[in-house]
Amino acid sequence: MSKIISTRVSDDEVKELNEIAEQEHLDRAALIRKFIMDQLKTYRIRKMSEYYRKGLASMQEAATAAKVTIYEMMEYITAERIHPPEETREEMEADLERTKRIFSGESSKRVKGK
């Protein structure tokens, strides 16, 4: 369901919107909708990349929550030079053991043997 949102803009802003809409071959409402959607996407990516930086979300989780592909999230994180927090030695070892179990087939054996 669509909702109507109204806002006030100056005459100069309306003129600029009309010029851009003409250049983009869009009507003004479609242009404004496009701008809003682009900005919402940018906001979600920025917000979720911050969760990634703090270690609160994996890159995949951040991409999913931001409603973008993991490749788009990777591109943003790389461009912004965002890094997750450093892992402790124990955390790295636990991840390594979990990865070894996955690739050795132990996790699939457990699922089949339910």
Residue 68: CB atoms within 10 A of its CB come to 18
Classify residue 5: in a domain, yes or no.
no
Classify residue 23: in a domain, yes or no.
yes
Same-domain check for residues 46 and 77: yes
Classify residue 1: in a domain, yes or no.
no
Q: What is the count of structural domains for the chain?
A: 2
Same-domain check for residues 33 and 58: yes
Same-domain check for residues 16 and 58: yes
Same-domain check for residues 48 and 76: yes
Q: What is the pLDDT of residues 54-95, one digit of tens each?
A: 989 989 999 999 999 999 999 999 999 999 888 788 888 888
Classify residue 3: in a domain, yes or no.
no
Angle at 47 between CA 88 and CA 34, to 5 degrees: 150
Taking the model in full, what pTM does it have? Answer: 0.69
Please indicate whether residue 108 or residue 100 has the higher confidence score (pLDDT). 100
Q: Token pair of 61, please?
A: 């989780």
Same-domain check for residues 22 and 72: yes
Please indicate whether residue 105 or residue 85 has the higher confidence score (pLDDT). 85
Which residue range(s) make up the domain with 100?
A: 87-114
Secondary structure letter of residue 84 according to DSSP: P
Alpha helices in 7-88 (DSSP H): 11-24, 28-54, 59-66, 70-79
Q: Token pair of 27, please?
A: 């009507």
Residue range 87-114: mean pLDDT, rounded: 73
Residues in the chain: 114
Q: What is the pLDDT of residues 15-54, one digit of tens each?
A: 999 999 999 999 999 999 999 999 999 999 999 999 999 9
Same-domain check for residues 92 and 64: no
Please tell me the distance from the alpha carbon of residue 55 to that of residue 19, in angstroms, as a whole number: 43
Please give the single-letter amino acid code of residue 32.
Answer: I
- CA-nearest of 57, 54, 85, 92 to 73 is 57
Same-domain check for residues 92 and 79: no
Query: Do 44 and 67 contact (CB within 8 A), yes or no?
Result: yes
